[in-house]
């Protein structure tokens, strides 16, 4: 799919400053390349969740955003379909994210994240780019920790330069030295000190703003690497 859409993805990537392999990875994870978008009526779903007491305030806000979308985009209510939780289209944007980041790349007057692949790719890239994505950097990498590594440093929040982590004995998963760099990074241990370890660069934190889950961010990064041939 990266190869099939290379010209479009390259153009979108240049405009928004995001490598195409990350656009495709998020497209894959969110909707299986547009195959699984959900068919729940968004207004009904959000009205139900707004009534439920657990996250009422959040979903009331999303319901209002969804109603604005119908008005602003001149869409029929039947068009607004998605997941049971209100996420929409091939990139599974919540209504608030749609209003902030969805892009009418083709210039037809509608940001169509359901059926228009150009709009889908541009919307994904615009989301990442707007949050500070750096196209000159990767997301991170799996690393090997020294036997005496202090597990408290692997909280995903402690920032040190890549060179500082190297001096602490952190190596690549293949046992090679980390590149000398002043870029700040964190160590993430999603399964604890006995599980795999990852060096998380600033782009990792951008992915976490898309979905605040270490598992989601790592899956996105690893899939993007595989798509890119790494």
Residues with a catalytic annotation lie at 30
Which regions of 42-103 does DSSP assign to beta strands (E)? Answer: 81-82
In whole angstroms, what is the distance from residue 141 CA to residue 150 CA?
A: 19
Paired with 186 in beta bridges are 200
**Residue 28 and residue 21: Cα distance in Å, rounded?**
10
Using alpha carbons only, how large is the chain's radius of gyration in Å?
19
CA angle 134/218/114 to nearest 5° reads: 75
Q: Please count the residues of the chain.
A: 230
> Using N-to-C axis directions, what is the helix angle for 117-130 and 20-31, rounded to 10°?
110
Q: Three-state DSSP class for 67?
A: helix
Separation of alpha carbons 170 and 144, rounded Å: 6
Measure the CA–CA gap between 66 and 168, rounded to whole angstroms: 49
- The token duo for 109 is 């007057």
C-alpha–C-alpha distance, residues 200 and 141, integer Å: 7
């Amino acid at each position: 799919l990266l190869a099939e859409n290379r010209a479009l993805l390259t153009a979108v990537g240049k405009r928004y400053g995001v490598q195409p392999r990350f656009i495709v990875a998020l497209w894959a994870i969110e909707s299986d390349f547009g195959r699984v978008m959900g068919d729940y009526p968004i207004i009904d779903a959000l009205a139900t969740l707004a009534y439920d007491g657990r996250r009422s305030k959040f979903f009331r806000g999303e319901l209002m955003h969804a109603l604005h979308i119908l008005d602003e985009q001149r869409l029929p209510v039947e068009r607004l379909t998605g997941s049971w939780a209100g996420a929409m289209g091939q990139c599974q944007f919540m209504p608030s994210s749609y209003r902030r980041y969805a892009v009418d790349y083709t210039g037809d007057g509608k940001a169509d994240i359901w059926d228009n692949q150009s709009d889908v790719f541009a919307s994904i890239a615009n989301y990442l780019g707007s949050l500070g994505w750096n196209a000159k950097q990767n997301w991170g990498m799996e690393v090997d920790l020294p036997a005496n590594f202090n597990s408290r440093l692997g909280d995903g929040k402690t920032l040190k330069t890549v060179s500082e982590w190297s001096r602490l004995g952190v190596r690549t998963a293949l046992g090679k030295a980390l590149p000398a760099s002043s870029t700040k990074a964190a160590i993430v241990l999603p399964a604890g000190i006995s599980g795999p370890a990852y060096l998380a660069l600033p782009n990792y934190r951008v992915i976490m703003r898309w979905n605040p889950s270490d598992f989601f961010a790592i899956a996105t990064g690893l899939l993007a690497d595989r798509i890119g041939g790494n």
